[in-house]
Amino acid sequence: EIVLNPLGVPSRMNVGQILETHLGWAARVLGLHFATPVFDGASENEIKEYIKQANGEFDKRKLPPSVGPSGKTRLYDGLTGEQFEQKVTVGYIYMLKLSHLVDDKIHARSIGPYSLITQQPLGGKAQFGGQRFGEMEVWALEAYGAAHILQELLTCKSDDVAGRSKIYETIVKGVSNFEPGIPESFNVLVRELQSLCLDVELIQEDEIDPEEIVAGVDALVGVD
Residue-by-residue pLDDT tens, the chain, 224 positions = 899 998 999 999 989 999 999 999 999 999 999 998 888 889 999 999 999 999 888 888 877 777 888 889 999 999 999 999 999 999 999 988 888 899 988 999 988 999 999 999 999 899 999 999 999 999 999 999 999 999 999 998 899 999 888 888 888 998 888 788 889 999 999 999 999 999 888 877 777 777 777 776 666 666 55
SS3 88: strand
Given this model, what pLDDT does residue 220 score?
Answer: 63
Domain extents in the chain = 6-89, 116-221
- For domain 6-89, give the CATH superfamily: DNA-directed RNA polymerase, subunit 2, domain 6 (2.40.270.10)
Tell me whether domains 6-89 and 116-221 share a fold.
no
Helix 147-154 / helix 135-143 crossing angle, nearest 10 deg: 160
- Separation between Cα atoms, residue 15 and residue 11, nearest integer Å: 10
pTM of the model: 0.51
CA pair distance 51, 29, nearest whole angstrom: 9
Q: What are phi and psi of 130, to 5 degrees?
A: -90, 175
The domain made up of 116-221 is a member of CATH 3.90.1800.10: yes
How far are the Cα atoms of 14, 187, 194, 200, 208 from residue 203, in angstroms, in the given order?
55, 14, 16, 10, 7
